[in-house]
Structure 1
């Protein structure tokens, strides 16, 4: 979650430096995806695999005709 916040904060900071209108970092509810599966055939033991999906929305208003390139580097 911290890298996501850092990237969003950098985007908003850069937009504010250019004096663009920003609305941002609206957090969406975290969605938890769960898969429940049986450990082995004939047993009553279960495994639960889960993954959290985190979404954030930010809006930056720019003039028409301006091209924007966003690069996200893998760490």
Structure 2
């Protein structure tokens, strides 16, 4: 799966090739789980100093694009 943004990367050998915030081992699914559990963006940024607000936005864009592609596959 190609990344919609250079802020999200999939690197073999890093978190089993999961989509991660570039330059970190923080996966897209980790950030989504934190948000779904009720953590605010500010709390996530405070807990993970390597992250910036644009990383969280990139995670949300990545997840939205993935969902869109999956929806298009099920309709086809």
TM-score bracket relative to the smaller structure: under 0.3
Q: Larger helix proportion, structure 1 or 2?
A: 2
- Please give the TM-score of this superposition, normalised by the length of structure 1: 0.24
- Please give the TM-score of this superposition, normalised by the length of structure 2: 0.24
**Higher RCO, 1 or 2 (CA under 8 Å, sep at least 6)?**
1
CA radius of gyration, larger in: 1
